[in-house]
Structure 1
Amino acid sequence: MSIFKYRVQAIFISILFTLISCSKEKTSSPTLSSSEISNNQHPSLIITKAGVEKIRANLGSIPIFDETLEKVKAEIDAEIALGIEVPIPKDYSGGYTHSRHKRNWQTLQKAGVLYQILDDEKYAKYVKDMLMEYEEMYKTLPVHPKTRSYARGKLFWQCLNDSNWLVYVSQAYDCIYNYLSKEERNKLETNLFRPFADYISVENPQFYNRVHNHSTWGNAAVGMIGLVMNDSVLIDRALFGIKGAELDKTAKDNDGGFINKDGKAGFLANIEEPFSPDGYYNEGPYYQRYAMYPFLVFAEGLNNVKPEYKIFDYKEGVLLKSINALLNLTDADGDFFPLNDGQKGMSYYTSALVTAVDISYKYGNKDPGLLSIAKEQNRVLLDDSGLAVALGIKNGETKPFNKKSINLADGPKGTQGGVSILRNEDIELVFKYAAQGSSHGHYDKLSYSLYEKGEEVLQDYGLARFVNIEQKGGGNYLKENKTWAKQTIAHNTVTQNETSHFEGKYEIGSKHHSILHYFSSENENVHVVSAKEDNAYPGTEMLRTMAIIKDEDFEKPYLLDIMKITSSKANQYDFPFYFFGQVLAANFEYNTPKTLKALGSKNGYQHLYLEGSAKPKNNNTKFSWLNKGKFYSLTSVANTNDEILFTRIGANDPDFNLRREAALMLRRKNTKNTTFVSIIEAHGNYSPVTESAVNSNSSIKELKVVIDTIDYTAVTITNEDGKTKLFITSNINASKDAEHILKINDTNYQWTGTYYFK
């Protein structure tokens, strides 16, 4: 059926809908039963009765909505033609039964929406028939046979995926609620929905009663089906967690290691604890993306059904604020920066971010920048918020979503470190000085990654997992995630004595966070962030200052990196640079071993092959490489006692679970106090078509530390034309109003603020 036919049909349905509604209003009794009142309120969860009328009235005139509808209709019609399949669960992630039940939850939700928009009974019948098959199976369904999870589900190997199912299916149930008879609803609620909600909550408090993205899904699942059924017990359990006798009873029969004993549980606690006032989510953008769907759809359901909760105003509107933060945590291509356990390639094109953008637009301040993201996503939700976005685009309200340098604080009150993104032209720096990040956190304080036009220049490894690929550990986290990806040496930061920050122990790391020294982006040419870490290694203090500098004497902005280390004893410091591409040149001679051996035996070192070693020849180490048609150069201040190591990931990895990627590592032994100073330049380009290399050499002649005291560190940057620039950072007084005077080589330098550059 064409969109034009939809529109004609929709106008007729809308008129009929209005006449019926008016008739009901005129003849209805003031003594309606609660069940009759409930019937009149469906759908009300995500798509609403008023929204359905407005959608039908606009069909055929809202291109992005109409195109999305056509695609979803074709998809679901194909599923209906294949018939219903509800297999007995047996597989891990990526296995057939897992994938089929996942496909079912998606199909049910979409079919329910199509029933409401198109008023075609075949979609309602399909949803009803499948739900009845689940009802028949669930009554006798045992716990899932796979035993790896700390909280096994029934349809899936973990309660998390059972919760995914219920979040989506509750929306489908809301859409066909009035299509079903009272007896059919009672059957589904008695044998499927209430037992399902009880199982993932009171029967698994170690999953449900905690602050974690898993629990957010559980809370939303219980709350959303509670809203559809108008069940106040389930709604309260969703908002506030399992309390009192329910928790006391079930906790005796479960592993309560994860249960929050301090009362922090439920949906509101999962908003209060992980989100900072800036909207940063402590587990990182990858898991924020995953959690935003249940956060936002349950919040939307609460807003529609229980507006008295004012959920979008909770914690000063942090849920909607977090969408802006999350979009800023993407590179130029829209991919999320892989902080903590993050899979590379996940982007704002994922369906969860379509939900986030649409809901944020409708319930926020209708930021026109969000419409530009929606246009890039090229689809909208088939509901009230998707209609709002479609109308905004149709009416020409779209403006660019401009990503600038930004500092996002971490912690419930914004006092537990944070993440800074420095942006200048096409260069992006992601600097992590955040709290641990719960169980998905990595041990990498003051680490960073560097991008140019969305391409990684220096990388963060991300997670060690092949999500939903059954052949790789059932699609779950691999053991190398702990032995490699979480370890400090896997990141671009300092590792002391071949031991990870906080000894790689969650109990220690979760107690501490780095501290922002200063952040400055007022000067359009110089953006700087500086942060301290005093707890990663007892007796050692680290202060890292990073600046993206746009200098007229250089082709592109460059990164200046100053890592100042002060320790109570002598240590070995390893400082890696995880680069991509082909080695071009170095100003040192290196030896390559005939046989590859691991660099160490533990803390991630067992996974690094040593491919080459060298000693610096002078006070600057220079190294350049080519990646995807762009040239890059690293210049580091060095001394003759340093070691330069070429390493590659992949040692002690018999199943080839790790990517074979390279790093250049600076090693400084038997040293107490020291400062690593480096510059990374992006320059030039190479065309394989014309076979021409443009500006393939570094522009830096010398990088020098001229002052390094408790109070100040100053470096000079001299280019090949002999022009010298001076950068000074204040190591103690980070006030923007502080006045400084520093004498260097008989010249007094005076400035106000945190740094000096000229």
Structure 2
Amino acid sequence: MIVKKYICFILICFLFACKKDNKAAIKNNVEQNTASHPSLILTQKGVKNIKAQLGTIPLFDKTLEDVKQDVDAEISKGIAVPIPKDFSGGYTHEQHKKNFLILQKAGVLYQILDDEKYAVYVRDMFLEYAKLYPTLPLHPQERSYARGKLFWQCLNDSNWLVYASQAYDCIYNWLSKEEREHLENDLFIPFANFISEKNPQFFNRVHNHSTWGNVAVGMIALVMDNDELLQKALYGLKTDSIAANLKDDDGGFIKNKDQKVGFLANLDEPFSPDGYYTEGPYYQRYAMYPFLIFAQALENKKPELKIFEHKNAVLTKAVEALINLTDKDGEFYTINDAQKGMSYYSRELVTAVDIAYHYGGNNPELLSIAKKQNKVNLDDTGLAVALGLKNNLDKPFRKKSITLTDGPNGNQGGISILRNNNLEVIFKYTAQGLSHGHYDKLSFFMYNNGTEVIQDYGLARFVNIEQKGGGNYLKENTTWAKQTIAHNTVIQNETSHFNGKYSIGSKNHSNQYLFNISEKIKVVSAKENNAYPGTELHRTMAIVTDSSFIKQPFVLDIFNVIGTSTNKYDLPFYYKGQIMQTNFKYTQQATLKTLGDKNGYQHLFVEALADAPNSNLKFNWMHNNVFYTLTSATQATDKIIFARIGANDPEYNLRRDPTLIIRKTNTKNALYVNAIEAHGSYSPVSEFSVNAYSSIAKIETLLNTKDYTAIRITNNNKQSKLFIFSNTNPDKTTAHSITINDNEFNWVGSYTYN
């Protein structure tokens, strides 16, 4: 009996020890699985560094306090997770949007401040979503090609998951294993599968929509260490179920099923080697957040991918490219679909600047942008920026004249910006720009001292304003904003470039002919041969700085049109401001009629008509107390049209902006030669005007052949300058010799000005 009792005792001790060891093993395994959090945007090392320096880094401390106030205010209101029903701008849409932004901030505050109330708030909101999400059908609004559940489109659902993933990462260790399993099984995994597997037409594309979708799945995959989801995010779905010609929300077509998809494809194709994003800066700004936030997470979790080195560090180049695509006030140029006023003060660009600084070699010029933004990311990158500013390492970001190529290999045209003193000329000769592209090859717009002078319309949409189409794109975006007549470029026979068809436009692009920058003259030139079959468009623009001739820099614009048949050509100038004076008589129309009945012409009221002068048109206007003059070499057969946007627009969806159109009719070849001056000023306080009139007395064409165009500019003092341009040889080393009116001219290079 004693032996048996002893054996039983030994056995019990052994089993107890095994059980204890098993518990320890389980505990160690759990600790091993959770030890890596946070690891996406915040890291354990980064949190430790931040905590060690709190109170000593002014900009970081300020941002932290601002975020804390925002989140505390939302916590005091309680959690609201409404059943979705609204378009953009509606209550349910805006509430779910606010939720994902606050979730991300609250997660960060928990890590930095060690205050559990933020973790509790994040957990409790996630639990509410875990109750709601499994019950949700598709969103009741049916407009989108890919309807979401929380939002009317999968794009916004993806926004939610990108931000929510960061919050989940921040409280991952704080949650119990059971809570994590519940959230992952009932919310996060179904959410990721819905965005991807259930919506391949959204997920498997090259487009900013898909970038958000790819990143949403990838971010939650990294939190959960789910390699299957991560592979989907990086490389797309392996499926043949994509319809080749399925239309998206904007009327563009989805790429065919054989194209590479996933995050890496979206990184490779839309970006040029210069960092220009083919959809334009407005959507580049929007897409930079998922691109960079996922890159940061991959750098932290999967450093072997070397994502910031991908495509010769295109992501950090893209941030600098974006800043170069802003005016004096930091507002993005309205290229393609773009809302005026969006700027590098947006939350996406705060993130982008900090990440580009931290991972792109600590460019001190980026610090000057961060200083203007006056806030930073509450993570490792924001800490780096705040420390750089604290140590006075910032240098001014110097915007120069620049060309940014378009296309994945940089061979699909591009954008050129000419800058001199306060003048900025933006010249567009790009690829189509995916579904957000407009049909406006060789168009331009102009700024003076940060103010639009010759404008691009931008998009026809009131973003997130429910009263206007649920905050979505309006039909006028297609019927007006995308059409060529809405832009400052030549229109042939009242028909848009590529007949306004995406399927044609997406296969073509313009080509740069010349880009040459010097102190005296900055020149860009490009050609477009496919906008109209049988017609070649060639536009050359220059900013000339010659104070001994014209006091202020002026813009020279030469637009050569070579056709194979007789056509009608229109060249509009969408000027901003009030007409002061013209040198021609015009007749105001007693009854407003439209300029045409389609291709955007149906949206223009004709306000006045005139015959052009048989020499020079002079059009003088004032904007923001500065005077401007357009001088154009015209013929008596040319027509002048004063028009205003707003016809066939009963809901007032379009701005009532004016335009001046120079029309040439019954002609095969056409040459437009224009000069634009910014001059003088008016003071409403002193009521004095200074230098209110043009300094250019005359502009004339001395020669225009296949090979050469020669323009003479004469000022009010009867001094003349000659600009001669080679139309067929842009080589900088070629010697040229031509005779004009018995005078011989010799020079080396593509042009001469003297």
TM-score, structure 2 normalization: 0.95
Shift of 1:258: 2.8
Which whole-Å CA distance do the structure 2 matches of 1:279 and 1:272 have between them?
A: 10
Letter aligned with residue 142 of structure 1: P
Does structure 1 residue 195 correspond to structure 2 residue 190? yes
Rounded Cα–Cα distance in structure 1 between residues aligned with 2:743 and 2:178: 89
Deviation at 1:34, TM superposition (A): 6.0
Q: Residues 607 and 649 of structure 1 are in contact (CA less than 8 Å); yes or no, is this contact kept in structure 2?
A: yes
Q: How far 1:36 moved relative to its partner? A: 3.1
Distance 1:534-1:259 versus aligned 2 partners, 3 A rule:
closer
Residue of structure 2 equivalent to 1:114: 109
Distance 1:285 1:249, change over 3 A: closer
Return the match for 2:61 from 47, 66, 69. 66
Percent identical pairs in the alignment equals 62
Tell me the amino acid that sits aligned with residue 295 of structure 1: F
1:147 is matched with which residue? 142
How far apart are residue 32 of structure 1 and its match?
8.7
Distance 2:324 2:102 in 1: 31
Query: What is the CA deviation profile of residues 20-61 of structure 1, one whole-angstrom value per residue up to 9, with x for unaligned ones?
Result: xxxxxxxx9999966533311100100111110111111111
Corresponding residue of 1:677: 673
Is 1:205–1:259's contact at 8 Å kept on the other side of the alignment?
no
CA drift at 1:743: 1.8
Q: Does 1:529 align with 2:524?
A: yes
Tell me the alpha carbon deviations over residues 204-258 of structure 1, each in whole angstroms, 9 at most, x when there is no partner: 0000000000000000000000000000001110000001xxx247879x99973
Pair 674,301 (structure 1): closer, same or farther in 2 beyond 3 Å: same
Matched, 1:519 2:519: no
Whether the 8 Å CA contact 1:203–1:250 is kept in 2: the answer is: no
Any residues of structure 2 matched to 1:564-575 within 5 Å, and which?
A: 564-575=560-571
The answer for the alignment partner of 2:100 in structure 1 is: 105
Aligned residues: 726
Q: 1:32 to 1:565 in 2, by over 3 A?
A: farther
Residue of structure 2 in register with 1:6 after alignment: none
Alpha-carbon displacement from aligned partner over 1:129-151 (angstroms, at most 9, x marks no partner): 00000001112111111100000
Q: Distance in 2 between matches of 1:754 and 1:376?
A: 41
- Alpha-carbon separation, structure 2, partners of 1:375 and 1:636: 43
For the residue of structure 2 that corresponds to 1:726, the secondary structure is strand
**Equivalences for residues 567-586 of structure 1 within 5 A:** 567-586=563-582
Aligned counterparts of 2:325 and 2:255: Cα–Cα separation in 1: 31
Question: In structure 2, what is the Cα distance between the partners aligned to 1:484 and 1:255?
Answer: 19
Following the alignment from structure 1 to structure 2, what is the Cα–Cα distance between the partners of residues 556 and 38?
A: 67
Question: Of residues 493, 499, 504 in structure 2, which corresponds to 1:503?
Answer: 499
In structure 2, relative to structure 1, the CA distance for the partners of 1:382 and 1:36 (3 Å cut) is same
Equivalent residue, structure 2, for 1:10: none
Contact 1:424 1:525 (8 Å CA) reproduced: no
Greater C-alpha Rg: 2
Partner of 1:217: 212
Hey, what does 1:665 align to over in structure 2?
A: 661
Deviation at 1:744, TM superposition (A): 2.0
Cα contact 1:207–1:259 (8 A) shared by 2: no
CA distance in 2, matches of 1:159, 1:734: 47
Q: Does the aligned pair in 2 maintain the 1:496–1:573 contact within 8 Å?
A: yes
C-alpha contact (below 8 Å) 2:415/2:427 kept by paired residues? yes
Q: Does residue 311 of structure 1 match 2:307?
A: yes
Which residue of structure 2 aligns with residue 545 of structure 1?
540
> What are the residue-to-residue correspondences of 1:545-694 with 2, within 5 Å?
545-552=540-547, 553-694=549-690
- Whether 2:441 is the aligned partner of 1:435: answer no
* Aligned-partner Cα distance in 2 for 1:149–1:33: 47
Unaligned stretches of 5+ in structure 2?
1-22
CA contact (8 A) 2:211 2:262 kept: yes
AA at the equivalent of 2:749: G
CA distance in 1, matches of 2:258, 2:308: 25
**Structure 1 letter corresponding to 2:153:** Q
Counterpart-to-counterpart distance in 1, 2:522 and 2:639: 31
SS at match of 2:291: helix
Does the 8 A contact of 1:362 with 1:385 survive in 2? yes
CA RMSD of aligned residues (A): 1.5
Please say if residues 435 and 514 of structure 1, whose CA atoms lie closer than 8 Å, have aligned partners that are also in contact. yes
Aligned position for 1:391: 387
Q: Shift of the alpha carbon at 1:196?
A: 0.1
Give the structure 2 partner of residue 5 of structure 1.
none
1:334-413 matched pairs, under 5 angstroms: 334-413=330-409
1:241 aligns with 2:233: no
Structure 1 stretch displaced more, 162-171 or 747-756: 747-756
TM-score, structure 1 as length reference: 0.94
Asked whether 1:730 is paired with 2:726, we answer: yes
Query: Does the C-alpha gap of structure 1 residues 457 and 259 become closer, same or farther in structure 2, counting only changes over 3 Å?
Result: closer
Equivalents in 2 of 1:333, 1:492: separation in Å?
Answer: 23
Alignment partner of 1:182 is 2:152? no
| Paired letter, 1:434 | T
Match of 2:735 in 1: 739
TM-superposed deviation, 1:259:
5.6
The answer on 1:264 being equivalent to 2:260 is yes
Check whether the contact 2:289–2:351 (CA below 8 A) recurs between aligned residues: yes
Describe the SS at the equivalent of 1:370.
Answer: helix
> Match of 1:301, SS?
helix
Query: What's 2:11 paired with?
Result: none
* Offset of residue 618 of structure 1: 2.8
Show CA shifts across 1:582-609 (max 9, x none).
Answer: 1000000000011111111000000000
- Matched-pair contact (CA < 8 Å) for 1:205–1:251: no
Taking a change above 3 Å as real, the CA distance of residues 500 and 249 of structure 1, as seen in their structure-2 partners, is closer
SS of residue in 2 equivalent to 1:626: strand
One-letter code aligned to 1:303: E
Displacement of 1:742 in angstroms is 1.9
Q: Is the 8 A contact 1:616 1:640 kept in 2?
A: yes
Name the structure 2 match of 1:123. 118
Please, which moves more after superposition, 34-43 or 275-284? Answer: 34-43
Distance 1:50 1:670, change over 3 A: same
Q: Distance in 2 between matches of 1:578 and 1:34?
A: 67
| 1:51 aligned residue | 46
Deviation at 1:749, TM superposition (A): 1.9
Give, in whole Å, the separation in 2 of the partners of 1:208 and 1:557.
49
Deviations 1:663-684 (A, max 9, x none): 1100000000111000000000
CA contact (8 A) 1:209 1:260 kept: no
Query: Does the Cα contact within 8 Å between 2:240 and 2:257 map onto a contact in 1?
Result: no
- 3-state secondary structure, aligned to 2:581: strand
> Shift of the alpha carbon at 1:748?
2.1
Distance 1:410 1:218 in 2: 24
Question: What amino acid is aligned across from residue 446 of structure 1 in structure 2?
Answer: L
Contact 1:112 1:127 in 2 (8 A): yes
How far does residue 722 in structure 1 lie from its aligned partner after superposition? Answer: 1.0
Distance 1:414 1:249, change over 3 A: closer
2:242, 2:256 within 8 Å by CA — same for their partners in 1?
no
1:371 maps to a residue whose letter is L
1:421 is aligned to 417
Q: Describe the SS at the equivalent of 1:568.
A: strand
CA 1:249 to 1:446, structure 2 compared with 1: closer, same or farther past 3 Å? closer
Q: What amino acid does structure 1 have at the position aligned with 2:308?
A: F
State how far apart, in whole Å, the 1-side matches of 2:707 and 2:456 are: 31
Say whether 1:163 aligns with 2:173.
no
Match of 1:93 in 2: 88
Matches within 5 A, 1:463-474: 463-474=459-470
Contact 1:544 1:563 in 2 (8 A): yes
Q: Distance in 2 between matches of 1:464 and 1:748?
A: 52
Amino acid of the structure 2 residue aligned with 1:134:
Y
Q: SS where residue 233 of structure 1 aligns?
A: helix
